[in-house]
Amino acid sequence: MFLKYVPLAVGLFGLLTSSVFLGMVLVGVRAFLRDARLQERMLAEKPEFLPPVTLFKPLHGAEPGLERNLRSFFEQDYAAPVEVLFCARTLDDAGMQIAHRVAAEYLGVTSKFLASGEPWAANAKACSMTVMAKAATHDLWVISDSDVRVDRKYLRSVVLPFRDVKVGCATCLYRGVAVGGIWTQLEAVGMTVEMSSGVMAANLMEPMQFALGPTMVARRKCVAEIGGFEAMVDYCADDFVLGNWIAAKGHRVELIGHAIDHVVLNVSFVDSIRHQIRWMKSTRFSRPKGHFGTSLTFGVPFGIVALIGALMLGMPWLGGAVLAYSLAGRIVQGFVVAKYTVQEPNPWRAAFLFPIRDLMGIFFWAASYGSNRILWRGEVYELLAEGRMRPAL
């Protein structure tokens, strides 16, 4: 008797929880904009805060757009010493050859080219960072992925929080930039809206406790306090670990009000789906409780469940209303987050794609519980407790 009410009840409960999440995101966006405006005013103050910095650039092959991405880091409006460290497994890596070519155009910037050799642990990026840390000249480190692109005021913006000696780590949001068809665009919307929404909600509830991989900024002494990068070479989510461990030592982790471009390279359906499930699995093992709760933030899947439940009870008008409500909520979320947190050039496109990505998200979330294996740069790994990983046997 009561079973026929279950789908509608589940759908309405999920719409309630996802609406609460949406409210938190919108409030979080407002707080983020307040802080971002304050940071903009601080950037205009004289004298400028321009400490010497060392840029870490791990490389792995000649990714599409790599030359343009790297060049953006050399063309910075930054009147202080900047050192750029490149590291790949071998010095003849195809990405390293591109780095040599770009660096040769900017002789005023110190560049070093390093080889890590074959990774001695599961996380090859952390192995490269360990090598670069030993070669770094300056004490403020800016670590960024090879598939990101920045504007000229990037360095000035990301070092600004370190005027406060209590800040040990800083990070920034990113907007997904699609280079292909619909699957690339949907993955980009996931980066732009879903990821940023999660950060807005998390930052509202408590101070930042993690960093985001495309940009991680840290003091040398703070990295040394947590055991150096070598302490995280067995962890999958090195960005989460870096920020989390530095915060645990009593230092502040700051969210910068400056967004960068994250180029989405997974053009095919299979590559895109595999990449997004890998993200979900990494979160599941790094933050299991938070990841489980993520299931209650999706709106469209619960709208569909409520629609089915209402149709079973002969109330199509109710089903249509709740589905429309779920779609409207995701469109609002997509537009607000895309436009105001990461300054997406086409926020309406993100807004209308986001309901589709929201529906896909529940399947990625469910798939994250299917196994503990991930594919990363052509190699299979097993994820373990606390976010550790090892090569699959």
Closest residue by Cα to residue 388 from 377, 374, 378: 374
pLDDT of residue 174: 96
Beta partners for residue 373, in sequence order: 382
What pLDDT is stored for residue 45 in this prediction?
A: 85
The pLDDT value recorded for residue 392 is 85
* pLDDT the model gives residue 198: 95
pLDDT at 1: 61
Strand partners, 171: 216, 255
Place of tokens 């089903």: 319
Joined tokens for residue 142: 């800016």
Residue 221 confidence (pLDDT) = 98
pLDDT for res 265:
82
What DSSP character marks residue 234?
Answer: T
What's the confidence (pLDDT) of residue 270? Answer: 86
Q: Which residues of 178-191 are buried (b: 16+ CB within 10 A; e: fewer)?
A: bebeebbbbbbbbb
- CATH number belonging to domain 34-266: 3.90.550.10
The model carries a pTM of 0.93
Strands 379-383 and 389-391: antiparallel
The residues spanned by each domain of the chain are 2-27+289-391, 34-266
CA dihedral 239, 245, 249, 250 (to 10 degrees): 50
Which DSSP state fits 190?
I
Written as six digits, the tokens of 73 are: 């880091």
Residuewise pLDDT in 10s, the chain (393 residues): 678 889 999 999 999 999 999 999 999 999 999 999 999 999 988 888 999 999 999 999 998 899 999 999 999 999 999 999 999 999 999 999 999 999 999 998 999 999 999 899 899 999 999 999 999 999 999 999 999 999 999 999 999 999 999 999 999 999 999 887 899 999 999 999 999 999 999 999 889 999 999 999 999 999 999 999 999 999 999 999 999 999 999 999 999 999 999 999 877 888 888 889 999 999 999 889 889 999 999 999 999 999 999 999 999 999 999 999 999 999 999 999 999 999 999 999 999 999 999 999 999 999 999 999 998 877 889 999 889 999 887
